[in-house]
Structure 1
């Protein structure tokens, strides 16, 4: 067969294959209700990216939520001690002496569950995005977004960062606790304020205008979701910082407190074990005021009032 005949044969086969493929595609489309609605390519790309972003955000939020407040502490880079580790390295007698001030500071910076508040905001905005991708107006969207704004406003009421200047010898313990928490709170407030401004000044307005723009509302919602993701991570960071302060002010297992001055110190809630060394004249009183914790590790916790009998020694 000559080359020109072979080429013609190949072209004829390709033409018939193309024709048969066209018939199959046409029959498939008509059998499923007709050709799909043509859409703007940019809009389609935006929808695909939005769907991928939402699915990724759901996975990340779920993973972080499962970790909870008491997530493993992260170490600092370059071998340096992270702030949480520096707090725990302070002498036990110092942490005990200033535990009330440290716990008061932790309560000031965690007056509400910021993780829960921002987590609810993230879920609400993701639901709005899902509806907008389907070009469906979310039910009572404006009211739900205003509730989100109100919750973010509560987060913005956190204490402003204090302008602490460390002396040459460094922060004392209470100042270090304050600086540690204030730094995390400042990042959270900054991210939350940016989210609230975008929500109030742009997204809510889309639901108030007569000429509603699906694409405009979707783009703003996606930007808001990104900002809220950052705020959620900062809320988790502050939550972990509060947990670190609480642990440093409560966990005295194995600590040497033999020379500590316990007069006037609120010991209720302190966790300790048989390796904790107490002042000699406080030992019996501590034992009588403590209850064993069912942890399997010989842990005890100091109660509010002395007990009628001491805890068994073989805990």
Structure 2
């Protein structure tokens, strides 16, 4: 699409994998610019991209045009007392925070990876961490890392969704990339996620299993901060391959997705917080039919066990 293409509310909802009601809510709060043509609401692609960029930096534009801390995003965690902070990068967490605000819970967002989320929870900088960290030794997601990174802290792990992780390659897969071993080929250049991201951990665990050092993989040290960014880099020819989720592959032109691992995307909080109003509200939302229905028909999400408490550690 051209930069100044007019988008409908449904177009933007499809692009961001959220409901139309969420887009109308963002427009109402002045967090994303819009205009009308007759009785039709329209948004420019440039304004949508600016909103995404502000969200990643933890800033949104207020109705007066000024910049303010976002209820929808913090780039780095802050100490408790500044709201209820949910940490992670998937857009499902943005929708969750919006639902919680309907119950008068000031739910804030911090956009950092899984490993750093758990460390921030341990340091009491956030309230909820989202994690998708694979342990190769026991072929298990998340609970081994919770035990290691929250030593001596009783915690609760709640399942949110399952997603398929795999490889982004150029359309037509011209380099015939099919598996983890191919990343060690001399004719392959990858682009990586930052240390601590779930996709980075999945990559590193598989490279270790194969006896491949990251330093020998072309492009391993070039890092970007999101699934969307690495997928776009592959689409634009900056790299041959990147690791990411299937959902994002559906949003980016000129790439294909090679599925390799079904991952569990879970929420973690301290057990001592279980009865707090904010945590109970969060559980009420993610265990509700309305919230689940927001994502049941979105490609790339498996919501069958959403809201299930899978471990108390």
More helix by share: 1
More strand by share: 2
Query: Same fold by TM (over 0.5)?
Result: no
TM-score bracket, normalised by the shorter chain, equals under 0.3
TM-score by length of 1: 0.23
TM-score by length of 2: 0.23
